[in-house]
Amino acid sequence: MDKLVIRGGQPLSGAIRVSGAKNAALPAMAACLLTAEPVQLSNIPDVRDIQTTRALLETMGVETEGSGGRHQIQLRAQAITHAQADYELVKTMRASTLVLGPLLARTGQARVSLPGGCAIGARPIDLHLRGLERLGAELRQEHGYVVAEARRLQGNSYSFDRVTVTGTEDVLMAAVLAKGETVLSNCAREPEVVDLAALLTRMGARIEGAGTSTIQVQGVDQLGGASHRIIADRIEAGTFIMAALITGGALEVTHCQPEHLGGLIERLEEAGARFRIEASSIGVAAGGRLGAVDIATAEYPGFATDLQAQYMALMTQAVGTAAITETIFENRFMHALELNRMGASIRIEGRRAVVRGRSALAGAAVQASDLRASASLVLAALAAEGETIIDRIYHLDRGYEKLEEKLRGAGAAVRRIARLIPRTAGASQPRTAGA
Ligand code: EPZ
């Protein structure tokens, strides 16, 4: 398996370009199942989860063109030959369950593997399923799969018991082809939901309220093709901002959407970071020692759980004690133990991590447990003395496009060592978390 080798101590400088948002691209790709016409997506990030989703859609009969390298993909679901998401793919990427709503709405049936547990929490999909039931789907569980059937979905009202991002997306994609009006309440307000609604609207859907907690949908009989540009990845942008700060550097983060990063920027300003915000770029500089600031993760527009691990690494370098409360996932502190191995002083108290700074970090061999935990270790390594070797970076490759190249371009000493043992035939990608 590939590893990253990072020699710490180089302040980042110059500019880093942000890619398209993985978590917006994944539902957008699933949305192609709603129409027989082509859907063209640009600003697609070149990351593993996109390749996995493409492979998943191809198993269903979707024709695909384009490549991650060109950041464009065309998807055409002229005929859906296999309305199923197999366990082998779902187990490597939970977001595969996003095909459930669109498959059901388009074909009247879907068979999707249940995702099972995950490294950051239990992450059930019960709220997706209940929403689909409210739209008239009949569901049963069979050999680890959920089997959904409906003649034609019927609009209805549904209130999510708790805010779920992919749950909102899944049920929204079903509702756009349901008969009549659907009112979804307690919806996720994340920019990725808004981006999906924008694509669906271009395809002919009638949606109001995306970005607020109540979304109203007037179902239509069919949808057509569309072209759509995926929003910038706010989590990648936030990761680079914190990478600059942890190294005491100054960086221009370009091709991003600063309006999506309010929760993070506010906290970092409080900690002493200085920002220059423009329409699509953010200039950030440390401006001296950072101070510790408490955060609690929350649904958008609050502090994103997907930035919590990176923030924890940053707080090891801030002066004072920061309490970090994780309210979204019950087990998302795995990085803390690895950070402690590098010299951090982090105590876990249930859903709260108490970080005592400032600690001198020292390079070590560490291993990542999920995508954002990996990013947190990369940040710590950039600030550590000596060399850090990060194992299991397939997690990073799922969601960060060419991370080491981007960081190298800003002056970091990062290299990848390719796997030494060739993968044996039939050996599968390890089971992973996230997305
Ligand atoms: C999305 O996951 C993201 N993934 C995650 O990003 C992100 O961490 C998360 O939203 C929260 O922002 C994609 O968009 C592809 P949720 P999702 O449903 O939709 C509970 C990354 O690193 N819940 O909003 O799966 C759930 O267990 C990834 O890029 C239920 O109980 O998250 C969690 O505690 C990781 N029942 C909470 O809700 C359900 O049916 C929020 O999860 C659904 C969710």
pLDDT tens-digit readout, 192-251: 999 999 999 999 999 999 999 999 999 999 999 999 999 999 999 999 999 999 999 999
Residue 248 Cα to ligand 1 midpoint, Å, equals 32
Task: Report the atom number in ligand 1 closest to the C-alpha of 169.
Answer: 19
The pLDDT of residue 427 = 43
256 lines ligand 1 (CB under 6 A): no
* Amino acid code (one letter) for 215: I
Q: How high is the mean pLDDT of the chain?
A: 94
Q: Which long-range contacts (CB under 8 A, 24 or more apart) does 406-410 make?
A: 406/16, 406/17, 406/240, 407/12, 407/16, 407/243, 407/378, 407/382, 409/14, 409/16, 410/12, 410/13, 410/14, 410/15, 410/16, 410/243, 410/244, 410/249, 410/251
Residue 369 or 385, more confident: 385
| Amino acid 308: pLDDT | 98
Q: How far apart are the CA of 165 and the centre of ligand 1, in A?
A: 6
Q: Does the pLDDT at position 425 exceed 50?
A: no
Element (H, E) at 245: helix 234-246
22-229 CATH pick, 3.40.50.300, 3.10.20.30, 3.40.50.720, 3.65.10.10: 3.65.10.10
Q: How far is the CA of 307 from the centre of ligand 1 (A)?
A: 13
For residue 121, report the distance from its CA to the centre of ligand 1, in Å: 9
Distance 231 CA to ligand 1 centre (A): 19
Distance 163 CA to ligand 1 centre (A): 9
Tokens for 83, please give them. Answer: 């309305």
**Stretch among 41-50, 68-77, 188-197, 240-249 having the lowest mean pLDDT:** 68-77
Query: What mean pLDDT do residues 133-143 have?
Result: 96
End-to-end CA distance of the chain: 20
Upstream peptide bond of 351 is cis (omega within 30 degrees of 0)? no
Residue 116's pLDDT band (cuts 50, 70, 90): low
The residue that leads in pLDDT, 426 or 345, is: 345
Where residue 386 falls (left for φ over 0; alpha for ψ -120 to 50; beta otherwise) is left
C-beta separation of 180 from 219 below 8 A: yes
Q: What is the mean pLDDT of residues 365-374?
A: 93
pLDDT band at 120 (very low <50, low <70, confident <90, very high): confident
User: Ligand 1: which residue has its CA nearest to atom 26?
Assistant: 123
At residue 422 the predicted structure's pLDDT band, cuts being 50, 70 and 90, is: low
Residue 96: left if φ>0, alpha if ψ -120 to 50, beta else—which one? alpha
CA dist., res. 384 & res. 368, Å (int): 17
pLDDT value, residue 299: 98
Name the pLDDT band for 435 (thresholds 50, 70, 90).
Answer: low
The ranges assigned to domains in the chain are 3-19+232-433, 22-229
Rounded CA-CA distance 50/46 in Å is: 7
Dihedrals φ, ψ of 329, to 5°?
-115, 145
Query: Nearest-CA neighbor of 318 among 242, 227, 266, 255?
Result: 242
Active site residue 32: no
7 forms beta bridges with 387, 413
On whether the CB atoms of residues 393 and 3 are closer than 8 A, the answer is yes
Answer for the pair 363, 385: CB distance below 8 angstroms, yes or no: yes
CA 286, CA 246: separation in Å to the nearest integer?
A: 8
The closest alpha carbon to 177, from 44, 285, 36, belongs to: 36
pLDDT in the model for residue 122: 73
Kindly indicate the confidence band of residue 67, based on its pLDDT and cuts at 50, 70 and 90.
confident
Chain position carrying tokens 């953010």:
282
Q: Could you tell me if the CB of 125 is within 6 A of ligand 1?
A: yes
Residue 63: both structure tokens together: 């024709």
The neighbouring-strand residues paired with 274 are 285
Q: Give the three-class secondary structure for 218.
A: strand
Does the pLDDT value for residue 395 go beyond 60? yes
164 lines ligand 1 (CB under 6 A): yes
pLDDT tier at 161, thresholds 50, 70, 90? very high
Q: How far apart are CA 20 and CA 60, in angstroms?
A: 25
Does 430 score more than 60 pLDDT? no
Residue with more model confidence, 297 or 420: 297
> Can 3-19+232-433 and 22-229 be said to share one CATH topology?
yes
The pLDDT assigned to 399 comes to: 96
Q: List Cα–Cα distances, 353 to 48, 112, 215, 219, in angstroms.
A: 30, 36, 35, 45
Pick the range with the lowest mean pLDDT from 88-97, 349-358, 397-406: 88-97
Residue 23 alpha carbon, nearest atom of ligand 1? 14
Sheet of strand 320-325: strand arrangement: 295-296, 320-325, 352-357, 345-349
From atom 4 of ligand 1, which residue's Cα is the shortest distance away? 435
Probe target for ligand 1 pocket from 23, 234, 299, with the most ligand atoms within 8 Å of CB: 23
Q: Is the CB of 182 under 6 A from ligand 1?
A: no
**Options 3.40.50.720, 3.65.10.10, 3.20.20.150, 3.40.50.300; which CATH number does 3-19+232-433 get?**
3.65.10.10
71 in Cβ contact with 41 (< 8 Å): no
Would you mind telling me the total number of residues written for the chain in this entry?
Answer: 435
For ligand 1, the distance from its centroid to the CA atom of residue 127, given in whole angstroms, is 11
Average pLDDT rounded to a whole number, residues 68-79: 92
To the nearest 10 degrees (0 to 180), the angle between helices 100-107 and 126-134 is 20
What pLDDT was estimated at residue 421?
57
pLDDT(418) > 90: no
Q: Evaluate: CB of 372 within 6 angstroms of ligand 1.
A: yes
- Marked catalytic residue, from 32, 118, 187, 256: 118
Query: Are 40 and 226 spatial neighbours (Cβ–Cβ below 8 Å)?
Result: yes
Query: Which two structure tokens, joined as six digits, stand for 213?
Result: 């907690």
- Would the CB of 335 count as within 6 Å of ligand 1? no
- Paired residues of 391 in beta bridges: 367
Q: Which atom from ligand 1 is nearest to the alpha carbon of 26?
A: 15
Diameter of the chain measured on Cα atoms = 63
| Substitution site in 166, 297, 370, 398 for ligand 1 pocket (most atoms within 8 Å of beta carbon) | 166
